Amino acid sequence: MKTARVQYNGKVIAAAEKNGLLLLEDGSAVKEDEVIWLPPVEPGTVFALGLNYADHAKELDFQAPSEPLVFLKGRSTFTGHLGKTPRPEGVTYMHYECELAVVIGKQGKNIPREEAYDYVLGYTVANDYAFRDLLENYYRPNLIVKNRDASTPVGPWLVPAEDIPDPMNLVLRTYVNGELTQEGSTKDMIFDIPALIQYLSSFMTLNKGDMILTGTPKGSVDTPVGAEVVTEIEGIGRLVSTVVREG
Ligand code: MG
């Protein structure tokens, strides 16, 4: 069963879906806009892949990497479904990145490729917003551009791994103000989920609640203040966010 984590009456509470309503853990049923949505799991260490789809690397005029290109995200950058993401003053190009987020379910180190899926709790959708003007050069890590407050919506749902038999064959789509602007498939990832779990766990312990944001396919457009951005992954969910003025 897919689950969410929301804030309602000041309390953080687990939620499920029932007949178009949110069924809260305390038994009450509420509408989706009566709660503040949070990422469906409390984020632990969050890894994000750069250029993990060859078509996106090409779109940015970058060489596709021969080894996973990974950066980390701190906790202030996360927000939930129906969240608002500030567009920094003076930025000329801000774009969404629709990404399959893999949630780790148990601790592991040196996980072999064949066992990688045993460590997956489930999946959710992430929108890893980028600010092209702030992109640091090749010799500096992605810090300023990928850790801004509320610039990584995650959710709405955690979908259990057993409900997604083939996560490497899912359609990703992004709509800006209702218009389709990005479409791809997880089958076009350069490094697939087992490769990423094997790679990361080869030098550090993965823990329950850690997440891997697996990168985005091509199809980025500028999102102005006021844009409603829907990032959607087949079978996983439809994550809505709105771009707002900073401050
Ligand atoms: Mg990304």
86 Cα to the center of ligand 1, angstroms: 17
pLDDT for 86 beyond 80: yes
CB distance 86 to 149 below 8 Å:
yes
6 Cα to the center of ligand 1, angstroms: 24
What's the mean pLDDT in 104-113?
98
pLDDT for 54 beyond 80: yes
Residues 232 and 174 in one domain: yes
pLDDT band at 135 (very low <50, low <70, confident <90, very high): confident
- pTM score, whole prediction: 0.96
140 or 3: whose pLDDT is higher?
Answer: 3
125 Cα to the center of ligand 1, angstroms: 12
The parent domain of residue 226 ranges over 41-245
23 Cα to the center of ligand 1, angstroms: 32
230 Cα to the center of ligand 1, angstroms: 15
Mean pLDDT for the chain?
95
What's the mean pLDDT in 113-132?
97
Residues 188 and 230 in one domain: yes
33 Cα to the center of ligand 1, angstroms: 27
Confidence (pLDDT) at 70: 95
Percentage of residues of the chain with pLDDT beyond 90 = 86
CATH code of 20's domain: 2.30.30.370
126 Cα to the center of ligand 1, angstroms: 9
Q: How far apart are CA 81 and CA 155, in angstroms?
A: 6
What's the mean pLDDT in 194-199?
98
The number of residues making up the chain comes to 247
Q: How many CB atoms lie under 10 A from the CB of residue 180?
A: 12
> What is the tally of structural domains in the chain?
2
Confidence (pLDDT) at 138: 63
What's the mean pLDDT in 19-42?
95
pLDDT for 93 beyond 90: yes
Residues 5 and 106 in one domain: no
Residue 43: asked if its preceding bond is cis (omega within 30°), the reply is no
pLDDT for 39 beyond 90: yes
Residues 181 and 67 in one domain: yes
Residues 8 and 109 in one domain: no
pLDDT band at 58 (very low <50, low <70, confident <90, very high): confident
CATH code of 111's domain: 3.90.850.10
Residues 128 and 177 in one domain: yes
222 Cα to the center of ligand 1, angstroms: 15
pLDDT tens, 60-77? 787 878 899 999 999 999
123 Cα to the center of ligand 1, angstroms: 16
214 Cα to the center of ligand 1, angstroms: 7
Confidence (pLDDT) at 191: 97
Kindly tell me the sign of the dihedral angle through the C-alpha atoms of 139, 141, 142, 143.
Answer: negative
219 Cα to the center of ligand 1, angstroms: 12
- The phi and psi torsions of 211 (rounded to 5 degrees) equal -135, 150
Q: How far apart are CA 50 and CA 72, in angstroms?
A: 11
Kindly tell me the sign of the dihedral angle through the C-alpha atoms of 20, 24, 26, 29.
Answer: negative
pLDDT for 137 beyond 70: no
Residues 150 and 29 in one domain: no
pLDDT band at 216 (very low <50, low <70, confident <90, very high): very high
In the chain the beta strands, taken as DSSP E runs, fall at 4-8, 11-18, 21-24, 29-30, 36-38, 46-50, 69-73, 78-79, 83-87, 94-95, 98-104, 120-127, 130-131, 152-160, 171-176, 179-185, 211-213, 228-233, 237-245
Residues 32 and 90 in one domain: no
70 Cα to the center of ligand 1, angstroms: 10
9 Cα to the center of ligand 1, angstroms: 33
